[in-house]
Amino acid sequence: MAVPSSGELSLRGIKREVENNNYSLGVSHSNISLTNLSNGTDDTINTRNISANRPNVIAPHAMSEFYSYDHDEASIAGYMVDDFQGTPTSTRANFNTTTLGDSLTAGDASGDASGASTSVRPLWSTLGGATSYHSGNHYIKMANTSNSNHSQWRTTQVDKRDSLSQASISVSGVKFCWEFGFYIASAGNKDLRFVLEAGSSVPTGTWNSGGSNFKIYAFTFDDQSGYIRWQRWGSSGSQTTVVQTSNSSFSYNTNHVCKITKTSGNLWNMTIDGTSVMSNTKEATNAYTQFYGYRFWTAKSGTSGTDNRVNYFKTYRE
């Protein structure tokens, strides 16, 4: 139980929070020092709390600095975690002020072998047309459009680890996972595509342009036969299929979880709801291992009134 957010505070209660993770616990403490509590001498201050909810460790110290402090604030492990709570394209509350939604918990996002964690939700941009955000159920949507850039959500914030974030990530020699929840309405010419940007200069304003700078992996979820096609772009307009799964690898009008894993030996696997649909596939042509951005993309000119959805996304090492 965290320290109250307002009102009179008890020094003994603060000590209980730091020592016992419960401000109201019926445990007696003596010889309590506000200085030792505030500067991390008694126990390291949990910086998973936002700065307004933890002591600043600088004298003079004040009990009021502990308002809303939670000593066992849960870590969310991973390079990036997003449940799309809060408007994805503008300033967003972090995981310490707005908890994980969409049935996710901090534990669901844990298991990062690098020991990294994140509290900041990434910012996304939109491209093309017919993108929207469902604030009630916290998912992004991509619907019918005739725009040549299709309907896209994109982020370049591939690494949001606290104090360790980078503009790109290298997954060479490690086991790395990309996982997301998705929903595709039945039929209507609106394949869903998940894109890993492997070029540092992939154009941000147009789709499939930039010549030799357009380096991506694309995983296309077919909206008619239910297969998933993995393709590699070496330049705009030039793609090669690495592998295509069997038909009916996923169902329509159904919420699914897709997990894509690259092993330390550069073998790629994919599961849908825990069932393998692609096993130990090797990308043989100068395999991409450095990534600068992510996109979710839907084919243009789909059937009006239908849409594709993504309700969470997370990346982590195993």
Q: What is the CATH number of the domain that holds 195?
A: 2.60.120.560
Quick one: 38 and 85 in the same domain? Answer: no
End-to-end CA distance of the chain: 31
Quick one: 144 and 36 in the same domain? Answer: no
Residue 162: inside a domain, yes or no? Answer: yes
Quick one: 39 and 89 in the same domain? Answer: no
Which run of H or E residues covers position 42?
none
Per-residue confidence (pLDDT) for residue 306, from 0 to 100:
83
Per-residue confidence (pLDDT) for residue 299, from 0 to 100:
86
Last residue of a domain, one of 66, 94, 112: 66
Residue 170's CB is within 10 A of a number of other CB atoms, namely 11
Quick one: 35 and 143 in the same domain? Answer: no
Residue 17: inside a domain, yes or no? Answer: yes
Quick one: 153 and 20 in the same domain? Answer: no
Per-residue confidence (pLDDT) for residue 48, from 0 to 100:
66
Per-residue confidence (pLDDT) for residue 110, from 0 to 100:
56
Question: For 221, how many CA atoms within 13 A lie in the half-sphere containing its CB?
Answer: 29
Quick one: 177 and 241 in the same domain? Answer: yes
Quick one: 56 and 175 in the same domain? Answer: no
Residue 2: inside a domain, yes or no? Answer: no
Per-residue confidence (pLDDT) for residue 295, from 0 to 100:
96
What does pLDDT average to in each consecutive run of 10 residues of the chain (318 residues)? 90 94 90 95 81 87 92 78 92 78 64 76 94 93 92 95 90 94 86 95 86 94 95 93 97 95 95 96 90 94 86 90
Cα dihedral 169, 171, 176, 177 sign? positive
Residue 72: inside a domain, yes or no? Answer: no
Residue 5: inside a domain, yes or no? Answer: no
Q: Which of 38, 47, 86 lies closest to 70, judged by CA?
A: 47
Beta bridge partner(s), residue 310: 140, 182
Taking CA atoms, 8 is separated from 55, 62, 91, 168, in Å, by 16, 12, 32, 46
Per-residue confidence (pLDDT) for residue 220, from 0 to 100:
97
Residue 19, token pair as written in the block: 């020592």
Contact of 159 with 79, CB cutoff 8 Å = yes
Pairing of strands 290-291, 255-262: unpaired
Read off the pTM. Answer: 0.81
Q: Which of 196, 118, 187 lies closest to 156, judged by CA?
A: 196
Residue 260: inside a domain, yes or no? Answer: yes
Quick one: 213 and 98 in the same domain? Answer: yes
Q: How far apart are CA 201 and CA 210, in angstroms?
A: 8
Quick one: 55 and 84 in the same domain? Answer: no
Q: Which domain, by its residues, includes 105?
A: 80-317
Per-residue confidence (pLDDT) for residue 46, from 0 to 100:
82
Residue 106: inside a domain, yes or no? Answer: yes
Quick one: 60 and 200 in the same domain? Answer: no
Ordered strands of the 293-298 beta sheet: 125-128, 151-155, 293-298, 192-197, 216-221, 228-235, 238-244
Quick one: 25 and 88 in the same domain? Answer: no
Quick one: 43 and 187 in the same domain? Answer: no
Residue 74: inside a domain, yes or no? Answer: no
Per-residue confidence (pLDDT) for residue 285, from 0 to 100:
83
Residue with tokens 């709801």: 273
Contact of 273 with 153, CB cutoff 8 Å = no
The total domain count for the chain is 2
